């Protein structure tokens, strides 16, 4: 069987380092591994509109920002198809048919939908139907490309489960047609859920606790130096906690082994640094300076590449346009398979006239 990746992001802002360690860095590695037959990376603007109906400008403005972040991070249009969700109408059509395979009760039980419904109030106007059904649309995104692997963050687990249920249901009702995808989560706990610089569970633009992928060097430094650490670690000689300490969680995600020799030769690796912090005698400033060096080293090439692409937005649009054409072709093939399986391909169905005619030829 072919190995196919599909994944994507909602374009509601620039991507931050949480996106990077949680998914983007992995995608680039998978892309360069050569292990996959096809890779699709989608800018999920239609999904973003499900809770931004009154603010389409925000979505529109961020399409190129996200595309720039993709290219800057190392996604290569020669190896990965980058495309825009709304430009593939086949996805909407698939959603309409899948909707008949999912109950309202099942959507209400989807944990991600549930928390999102609790968090948002939709300005007192109630929950848009489109928002409520976005897990079904996400199943269309995944199955349209016959994806076998979906690299995403942990918060997307319920979406994948719902997608797999739709696939099983479709195949059992209409015959083996769709492919069941596997989720691929980050392998390191720090990458699974990188906290904000304030230690809050999630990095999010609205909380103002993000470090962006293309952040300027001085701003990276300022943010790192202001990060939360162990609140009981007051004096250098005090023993400190590394568990749950944002600075150490970031180091888990970013400190490559070679950075110790380069920036902090007092320690050979993170375990040694942690041990010193835990027994006391290692100050926060020193740890933060090291983290700043790691982040600067990691983000500099990304920022530089982004600056180059920023000068040529025509090229970026062209990448998305060509990618959307490729994606559309693939999605159309799957839609045709789906319609054939459901036997709603009437004009290609010779059997339709024959069986109906038999009724009238007594
Ligand atoms: N829900 C994803 C997010 O919020 C974006 C997304 C839309 C996606 N469709 C997808 C991710 C299909 C993976 C597969 O970031």
CATH code of the domain covering residue 236? 1.10.240.10
Average pLDDT over residues 282-309: 97
CATH code of the domain covering residue 168? 3.40.50.620
* 203, part of any domain: no
- Ligand 1 centroid – CA 49 distance (Å): 13
pLDDT for the residue 201: 78
* 104, part of any domain: yes
* 325, part of any domain: yes
Beta strand 38-43 pairing with 182-184: unpaired
Which ligand 1 atom minimizes the distance to the CA of 147?
14
> Locate tokens 């009238």: which residue?
360
Share of the chain above pLDDT 90, in %: 83
pLDDT tens digit string along 318-359? 999 999 999 999 999 999 999 999 999 999 998 998 988 888
**7, 24, 51, 180: residue to mutate for ligand 1 pocket, most atoms within 8 A of CB:** 7
> Locate tokens 């897990």: which residue?
135
pLDDT for the residue 123: 62
pLDDT for the residue 149: 97
- Using only C-alpha atoms, the chain has a radius of gyration, in whole angstroms, of 24
Dihedral pair phi/psi, residue 9, rounded to 5°: -140, 150
CA angle 14, 20, 25 (to 5 degrees): 135
**76 and 221 fall within a common domain:** no
* 201, part of any domain: no
Alpha carbons within 13 angstroms on the beta-carbon side of residue 126 total: 3
* 87, part of any domain: yes
pLDDT for the residue 204: 82
pLDDT tens digit string along 157-186? 999 999 999 999 999 999 999 999 999 998
**138, 144, 150, 161: residue to mutate for ligand 1 pocket, most atoms within 8 A of CB:** 138
pLDDT for the residue 362: 65
In this structure, the chain runs to a length of 362
pLDDT tens digit string along 52-69? 998 999 999 999 999 999
Mean pLDDT of the chain: 94
Burial class (CB in 10 A: 0-12, 13-18, 19+), 269: exposed
Domain with 303 in it:
217-309
Mapping DSSP to helix (H, G, I), strand (E, B) and coil, where does residue 40 land? strand
pLDDT for the residue 203: 85
- C-alpha closest to that of 87 among 46, 142, 134: 46
pLDDT for the residue 246: 95
* Angle (deg, nearest 10), helices 157-174 and 134-144: 70
* Ligand 1, CB within 6 Å, residue ranges: 6-10, 44, 47, 138, 141-142, 150, 152, 156
* 80, part of any domain: yes
Dihedral pair phi/psi, residue 273, rounded to 5°: -65, -45
* 276, part of any domain: yes
- Ligand 1 centroid – CA 8 distance (Å): 5
Which ligand 1 atom minimizes the distance to the CA of 138?
9
* 289, part of any domain: yes
More confident residue, 171 or 114: 171
Share of the chain above pLDDT 70, in %: 98
**156, 167, 202: residue to mutate for ligand 1 pocket, most atoms within 8 A of CB:** 156
**188 and 81 fall within a common domain:** yes
CB 30 within 8 A of CB 36: yes
Helix ranges (H only) for 178-234 are 189-192, 217-225
The DSSP output letter for 178 is S
pLDDT for the residue 202: 82
**14 and 140 fall within a common domain:** yes
Mean pLDDT is lowest, of 9-18, 107-116, 247-256, for 107-116
pLDDT for the residue 229: 94
Average pLDDT over residues 270-288: 96
**179 and 37 fall within a common domain:** yes
Which ligand 1 atom minimizes the distance to the CA of 6?
14
- Ligand 1 centroid – CA 47 distance (Å): 8
**181 and 274 fall within a common domain:** no
More confident residue, 121 or 268: 268
- Please give the Cα distance from 53 to 328 (Å, whole number): 24
Strands (E), 66-205: 81-84, 149-151, 182-184
**229 and 114 fall within a common domain:** no
- Ligand 1 centroid – CA 7 distance (Å): 6
Residues 6+ away with beta carbon under 8 Å from 265: none
- Ligand 1 centroid – CA 246 distance (Å): 26
Domain count of the chain? Answer: 2
**39 and 126 fall within a common domain:** yes
pLDDT for the residue 220: 97
Beta strand 4-9 pairing with 38-43: parallel
- Ligand 1 centroid – CA 156 distance (Å): 7
**152, 161, 184, 202: residue to mutate for ligand 1 pocket, most atoms within 8 A of CB:** 152
Helix (H) / strand (E) element for 9: namely strand 4-9
The DSSP output letter for 194 is P
Q: Residue with the nearest Cα to atom 3 of ligand 1?
A: 9
> Locate tokens 């599909």: which residue?
6
- Ligand 1 centroid – CA 253 distance (Å): 22
pLDDT band at 121 (very low <50, low <70, confident <90, very high): low
Q: Side by side, which strands form the sheet with 38-43?
A: 81-84, 38-43, 4-9, 149-151, 182-184
- Ligand 1 centroid – CA 353 distance (Å): 42
CA angle 269, 271, 276 (to 5 degrees): 105
pLDDT tens digit string along 179-236? 999 999 988 878 888 999 998 878 887 888 999 999 999 999 999 999 999 999 989 9
- Ligand 1 centroid – CA 54 distance (Å): 20
pLDDT tens digit string along 122-151? 666 788 899 999 999 999 999 999 999 999
> Tokens representing 216?
């300027």
């Amino acid at each position: 069987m072919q190995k196919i990746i599909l994944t994507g992001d909602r374009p509601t802002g620039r991507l931050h380092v949480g996106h990077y360690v949680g998914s983007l860095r992995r995608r680039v590695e998978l892309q360069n591994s050569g292990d996959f037959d096809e890779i699709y990376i989608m800018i999920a603007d239609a999904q973003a509109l499900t809770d931004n109906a009154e603010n389409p400008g925000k979505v529109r403005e961020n399409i190129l920002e996200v595309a720039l972040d993709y290219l800057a991070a190392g996604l290569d249009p020669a190896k990965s198809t980058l495309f825009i969700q709304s430009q593939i109408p086949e996805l909407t059509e698939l959603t309409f048919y899948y909707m008949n395979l999912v109950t309202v009760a099942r959507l209400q039980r989807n944990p991600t939908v549930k928390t999102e419904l609790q968090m948002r109030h939709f300005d007192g106007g109630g929950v848009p139907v489109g928002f409520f059904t976005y897990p079904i649309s996400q199943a269309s995104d995944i199955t349209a490309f016959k994806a076998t692997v979906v690299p995403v963050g942990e918060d997307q687990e319920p979406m994948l489960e719902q997608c797999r249920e739709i696939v099983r249901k479709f195949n059992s009702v209409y015959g083996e047609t769709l492919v069941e995808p596997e989720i691929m989560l980050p392998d390191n706990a720090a990458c699974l859920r990188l906290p904000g610089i304030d230690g809050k569970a999630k990095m999010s633009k609205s909380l103002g606790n993000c470090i962006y992928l293309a952040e300027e060097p001085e701003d990276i430094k300022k943010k790192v130096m202001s990060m939360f650490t162990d609140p009981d670690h007051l004096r250098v000689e005090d023993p400190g906690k590394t568990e749950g300490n944002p600075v150490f969680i970031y180091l888990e995600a970013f400190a490559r082994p070679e950075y110790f020799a380069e920036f902090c030769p007092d320690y050979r690796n993170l375990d040694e640094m942690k041990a010193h912090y835990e027994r006391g005698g290692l100050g926060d400033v020193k740890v933060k300076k090291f983290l700043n060096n790691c982040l600067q080293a990691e983000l500099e090439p990304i920022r530089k590449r982004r600056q180059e692409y920023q000068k040529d937005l025509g090229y970026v649009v062209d990448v998305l346009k060509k990618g959307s054409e490729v994606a559309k072709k693939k999605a159309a093939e799957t839609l045709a398979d789906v319609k054939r399986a459901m036997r709603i391909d009437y004009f290609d169905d010779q059997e339709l006239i024959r069986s109906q005619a038999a009724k009238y030829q007594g």
